[in-house]
């Protein structure tokens, strides 16, 4: 599978140890609050870990943590940070659709933060099949992804078209399921991060979860909280907007 968004080229811009983007302020803290009390004595997999920002946040709480990503550049930075400040995170390059370095039934907690919206609808079954394979019985999975509403941020004044990274497209075309597009996210330190998104249906997730002996316990639409006006005022216009989705489930 080819790297989408050229993460390797942008890897330096993603390098961080404190929040810089909307998802760092809103989505990842939600994920952290959901898992922080269940990691003790657990073997954890961070699938699509990027340059390791979230893995570093939770490493001290887990028994062991493996983190992997498709982008060689992101993993290179993650390993450099691990060498500088060792936290015991084992990194490798790989694909969430084929976790060949992870043995069957070996993981207690599977995390995937802001990765699933890069997968095509046709790949979701493979994605959940791999979760089922690597999780121990009753092992839990936690998934963060962009909410379809996120695209509202990129509508032009007419509200009928969307400004993507290199082009403007009609809303009618955007609505086609499976379309992949890239957008530019501003960070609080004035950098631009390119992020990608495949148009998906919740039904596809539900079908693939049920089809792979997994149970979805909880879905949450994550809303931008009021405190953002103090923490990162550039995102204040978004207070109350639903920008991310969170799935929690287990292997049965």
- Rounded Cα distance between 165 and 155, Å, is 12
Pick 22 or 224: Cβ nearer ligand SAM: 22
State yes or no: residue 71 binds ligand SAM (CB under 6 A): yes
- Which lies closer to ligand SAM via its Cβ, residue 101 or residue 210? 101
Told to check if 70 binds ligand SAM by CB under 6 A, we report yes
Buried b (16+ CB within 10 A) or exposed e, 167-204: eebeeeebeeeeeebebebebbeeeebbbbbbbbeeeb
Alpha helices for the chain (secondary structure H): 7-14, 22-35, 53-58, 72-84, 124-134, 171-174, 202-211, 228-231
Interaction of residue 114 with ligand SAM, rule CB under 6 A = yes
Q: Which residue has the tokens 């079908």?
A: 207
Phi, psi of 64 (to 5 degrees): -150, 150
Q: How near is the Cβ of 133 to ligand SAM at its closest, in Å?
A: 15
Binding-site size, ligand SAM (CB under 6 A): 21
Instruction: Write the binding mask 139 to 178 for ligand SAM: x where contact by CB under 6 A, - elsewhere.
Output: ----------------------------------------
Q: Which of 79, 97, 164, 179 binds ligand SAM (CB under 6 A)?
A: 97
Point out which residues bind ligand SAM (CB under 6 A).
Answer: 1, 3, 7, 28, 48-50, 53-54, 69-71, 74, 95-97, 113-115, 118, 195
């Amino acid at each position: 599978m080819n790297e989408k968004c050229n993460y390797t080229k942008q890897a330096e811009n993603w390098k961080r140890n404190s929040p810089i983007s909307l998802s760092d302020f809103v989505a990842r803290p939600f994920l952290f609050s959901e898992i922080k009390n269940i990691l003790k004595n657990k073997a954890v997999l961070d699938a699509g870990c990027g340059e390791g920002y979230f893995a570093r946040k939770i490493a001290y709480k887990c028994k062991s943590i493996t983190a992997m990503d498709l982008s060689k550049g992101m993993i290179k930075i993650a390993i450099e940070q691990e060498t500088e400040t060792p936290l015991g995170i084992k990194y490798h390059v790989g694909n969430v659709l084929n976790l060949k370095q992870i043995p069957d039934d070996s993981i207690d907690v599977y995390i995937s933060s802001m990765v699933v919206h890069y997968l095509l609808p046709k790949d979701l079954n493979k994605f959940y099949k791999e979760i089922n394979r690597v999780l121990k019985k009753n092992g839990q999975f936690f998934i963060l992804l962009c909410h379809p509403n996120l695209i509202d941020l990129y509508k032009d004044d007419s509200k009928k078209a969307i400004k993507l990274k290199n082009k403007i497209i009609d809303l009618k075309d955007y609505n086609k399921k499976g379309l992949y597009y890239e957008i530019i996210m501003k960070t609080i330190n004035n950098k631009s991060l390119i992020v990608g998104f495949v148009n998906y249906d919740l039904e596809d997730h539900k079908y693939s979860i049920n089809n792979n002996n997994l149970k979805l316990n909880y879905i949450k639409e994550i809303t931008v909280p009021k405190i953002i006006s103090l923490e990162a005022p550039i995102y204040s216009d978004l207070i109350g907007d639903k920008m991310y989705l969170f799935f929690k489930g287990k292997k049965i």
